């Protein structure tokens, strides 16, 4: 690692993160993306991550970061972090930066009070997390998909950039008819002796920078994100009282918003997973993995929903 120097991330580094992202993913997320993502001081330490620079020419080379989330079980709060941005500039791939930066970040997170790092690694990053960082793969998120016969405006707006602003205006108009009376509701997975990320007003507001929002379907609050698919992050448990009518009403919303696929995601054996598995085909989704910094963390009682994934 003599070829590189390392700095803890701060606001001054945001332009360099964009530089790395352009090379790694061909995406410019913008300064506001990183400002919003690190605006999570209410849940724990912020700016938990490191950026690497080439000593030779000072080129921003790689970044790894985690983000503080609030975990609640039986009235007890734990500081946990989710693995978030992992990216390496194409000029510096294969140099071991991912592993080095991750270990530095974990040491920092633990020092600042985090008890656990968790995440949902994709197929490309999974081997690195498990083999090089000692993550434990506990289970996979269960996905359920509903196809809706509609003109796929949402999918087209995702693929064709000039349509996106027009679609957002249309969506804003449609959402006027689905306004919710609340701006948050309890995480559906949090039950007696089962914990999860706290979906309070502050956390829902924090996640809104990524496009998540709460609307009302059949007088029930639903946390969703339109992004190619209509991703359902969580549903208030009172929708279970008339599940069939709720699904019909949600499909009605999907039809008018041009969402041809609705995707739900829940931790195995959680509240909604048990209900959806009776009516829909289960699809094995991304792996749920973790590394404990505190052996006393009740990982076996950690349930999650699609809203808890970093990209939601």
Q: Which pLDDT score, from 0 to 100, does residue 289 have?
A: 97
Say which residue the tokens 């599940």 belong to.
Answer: 243
Torsion of CA 61, 64, 67, 68, to 10 degrees: -120
**Which region, left, alpha or beta, applies to residue 75 given φ > 0 means left and ψ of -120 to 50 means alpha?**
left
Spatial distance between the Cα atoms of 24 and 21, rounded to a whole number of angstroms: 5
Spatial distance between the Cα atoms of 294 and 259, rounded to a whole number of angstroms: 42
SS (H, E, C) 128-187: HHHHHCCCEEEEEEEEEEEECCCCCHHHHHHHCHHHHHHHHHHHHHHHHHHCCCCCCCCC
CATH classification (class only), 4-114: alpha beta
Q: Which pLDDT score, from 0 to 100, does residue 188 have?
A: 97
Q: Angle at Cα 227 formed by Cα 172 and Cα 195, nearest 5°?
A: 105
What count of other Cβ atoms lies within 10 Å of the Cβ of residue 160?
11
Contact 62, 101 (CB under 8 A): yes
SS3 203: helix
Say which residue the tokens 């796929």 belong to.
Answer: 152
Q: Which pLDDT score, from 0 to 100, does residue 8 have?
A: 98
Task: State the burial class of residue 125 (Cβ atoms within 10 Å of its Cβ: 0-12, 13-18, 19+).
Answer: middle
Contact 234, 200 (CB under 8 A): no
- Give me the residues paired with residue 142 across strands: 266, 284
Range(s) within the chain of domains with CATH label 3.40.630.30: 4-114
Buried b / exposed e across 172-181, counting CB within 10 Å, b at 16+? eeebeebebe
Q: Which pLDDT score, from 0 to 100, does residue 85 have?
A: 87
Which pair of structure tokens corresponds to residue 12? 């001054």
Contact 49, 66 (CB under 8 A): yes
- Give me the residues paired with residue 225 across strands: 231
Q: Which pLDDT score, from 0 to 100, does residue 192 have?
A: 87
End-to-end C-alpha distance for the chain, whole angstroms: 34
pTM of the full structure:
0.93
Q: Which pLDDT score, from 0 to 100, does residue 49 have?
A: 98
pLDDT digits (tens, 9 = 90+) for 150-195: 999 999 999 998 999 999 999 999 999 999 999 999 999 999 899 9
Q: Which H or E element spans position 25?
A: helix 14-25
Low-confidence ranges of the chain (pLDDT < 70): none
Q: Residue 228 carries which DSSP code?
A: S
Spatial distance between the Cα atoms of 278 and 266, rounded to a whole number of angstroms: 14
């Amino acid at each position: 690692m003599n070829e590189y120097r390392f700095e803890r991330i701060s606001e001054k580094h945001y332009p360099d993160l964009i530089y790395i992202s352009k090379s790694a993913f061909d995406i410019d997320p913008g300064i506001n993306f990183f400002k919003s993502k690190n605006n999570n001081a209410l849940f724990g330490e912020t700016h938990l991550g490191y950026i690497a620079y080439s000593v030779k020419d000072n080129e921003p080379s790689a970044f790894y970061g985690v983000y503080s989330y609030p975990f609640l079980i039986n009235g007890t709060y734990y500081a946990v972090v989710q693995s978030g941005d992992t990216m390496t500039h194409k000029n510096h791939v294969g140099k071991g930066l991912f592993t080095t930066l991750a270990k530095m970040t974990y040491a920092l997170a633990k020092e600042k009070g985090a008890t656990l790092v968790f995440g949902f690694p994709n197929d490309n990053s999974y081997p690195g997390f498990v083999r090089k960082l000692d993550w434990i793969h506990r289970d996979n998120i269960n996905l359920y998909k509903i196809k809706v016969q509609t003109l796929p405006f949402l999918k087209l707006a995702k693929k064709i950039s000039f349509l996106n602003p027009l679609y957002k205006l249309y969506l804003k108009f449609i959402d006027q008819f689905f306004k919710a009376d609340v701006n948050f509701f309890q995480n559906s997975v949090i039950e007696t002796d089962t914990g999860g990320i706290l979906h309070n007003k502050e956390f829902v507001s924090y996640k809104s920078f990524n496009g998540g929002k709460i609307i009302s379907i059949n007088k029930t609050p639903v946390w969703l994100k339109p992004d190619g698919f209509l991703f359902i992050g969580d549903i208030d448990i009172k929708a279970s009282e008339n599940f069939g009518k709720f699904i019909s009403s949600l499909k009605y919303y999907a039809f008018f918003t041009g969402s041809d696929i609705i995707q739900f995601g829940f931790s195995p054996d959680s509240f909604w997973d048990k209900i959806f598995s009776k009516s829909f085909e289960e699809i094995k989704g991304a792996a749920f993995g973790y590394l404990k910094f505190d052996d006393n963390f009740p990982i076996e009682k950690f349930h999650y929903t699609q809203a808890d994934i970093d990209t939601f």
